[in-house]
């Protein structure tokens, strides 16, 4: 399991918890470099290009973890795509598009384009993907926003064309990190796990709901997901009143 720092789960605090607000020499920034290294060694025997990130319940810091891990990987020169697949509460889209007009197009519109199609033209899909993805202010870091919030996200994730979308993402980017809805309130993560090479579970420090975590792990492992471990968001007042540092790393 991967153990990391506590990050505030509310949108405002999540923005404050982005690495851009911390020194590159801070323990907070170092914790993400440690997580990046742990993921590298955890996937030596199998390529890890698409990573799913989820949690048992809402408010455990998964979107903040995705944003900071993705930026840390992008700093190494990799082209990294964040996919906001939390179509119920799109934290990445809110974070990176804060103060801007929310994008009308995104993952939901890409999936909708594939509905009813049995064969997708890869060239057309790559063009649609390129037009939908947003370049962030950071080098090598990109975002596929959520797009319009559908009335039934689960129905979209059952679309046949989703496989082609992930294939296009693999072709265009070195690393793809997928932020999904929490496991227990919805089945979105279970539907998306077959398209991903590995999964991380984000756990809120002091949450105290061990049964929820156990149930979530049982559900996502039951979907066939390759669960690499868990990130523990841990508070530590020595860095600041909100952010902490990794206490340890345990391999599985």
Is 249 contained in some domain?
no
* Residue 39 vs residue 235, higher pLDDT: 39
What are the pLDDT digits (tens) for 198-218? 999 999 877 667 899 999 999
Q: What is the pLDDT of residues 37-76, one digit of tens each?
A: 999 888 788 889 999 999 999 989 899 999 999 999 999 9
The arithmetic mean of pLDDT across residues 89-108, rounded, is 81
What's phi and psi for 14, nearest 5 deg? Answer: -60, -40
Whether residue 251 lies inside any domain: the answer is: no
For position 129, which CATH number holds? 3.40.50.300
Q: Are 175 and 78 in contact (CB under 8 A)?
A: yes
Structural domain total, the chain: 1
Q: Is residue 192 part of a domain?
A: yes
User: What burial letters (b/e) apply to 34-56, b meaning 16+ CB within 10 Å?
Assistant: bbbebbeebbeeeebebbbbbbb
The band of 120, judged by pLDDT with boundaries at 50, 70 and 90, is low
Q: Determine the structural domain holding residue 37 and report its residue range.
A: 2-233
pLDDT given at position 100: 62
* Confidence category of residue 112, pLDDT binned at 50, 70, 90: confident
Asked whether the beta carbons of 126 and 171 are under 8 A apart, the reply is yes
pLDDT band at 136 (very low <50, low <70, confident <90, very high): very high
As given in the structure block, the two tokens for residue 146 are: 């959520």
Under DSSP, is residue 202 helix (H, G, I), strand (E, B) or coil?
strand
């Amino acid at each position: 399991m991967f153990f990391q720092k506590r990050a505030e789960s509310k949108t405002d605090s999540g923005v404050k918890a982005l690495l851009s607000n911390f020194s590159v020499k801070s323990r907070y920034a170092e914790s993400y470099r440690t997580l990046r290294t742990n993921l590298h060694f955890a996937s030596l025997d199998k390529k890890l290009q698409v990573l799913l990130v989820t949690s048992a319940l809402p408010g455990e810091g998964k979107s903040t973890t995705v944003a900071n891990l993705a930026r840390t990987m992008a700093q190494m020169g990799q082209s990294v795509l964040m996919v906001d697949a939390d179509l119920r509460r799109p934290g990445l889209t809110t974070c990176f598009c804060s103060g801007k007009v929310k994008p009308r197009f995104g993952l939901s519109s890409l999936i909708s384009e594939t509905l009813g199609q049995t064969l997708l033209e890869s060239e057309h899909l790559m063009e649609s993907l390129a037009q939908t993805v947003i370049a962030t202010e950071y080098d090598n870091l990109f975002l596929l926003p959520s797009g319009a919030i559908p009335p039934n996200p689960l129905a979209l994730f059952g679309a046949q064309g989703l496989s082609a979308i992930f294939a296009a993402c693999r072709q265009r980017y070195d690393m793809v990190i997928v932020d999904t809805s929490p496991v227990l309130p919805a089945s979105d993560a279970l539907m998306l796990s077959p398209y991903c090479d590995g999964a991380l579970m984000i756990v809120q420090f002091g949450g105290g709901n061990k049964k929820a975590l156990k149930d979530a792990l049982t559900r996502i492992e039951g979907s066939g997901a390759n669960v690499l471990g868990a990130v523990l968001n841990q508070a530590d007042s020595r860095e600041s009143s909100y952010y902490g540092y990794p206490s340890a790393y345990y391999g599985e």
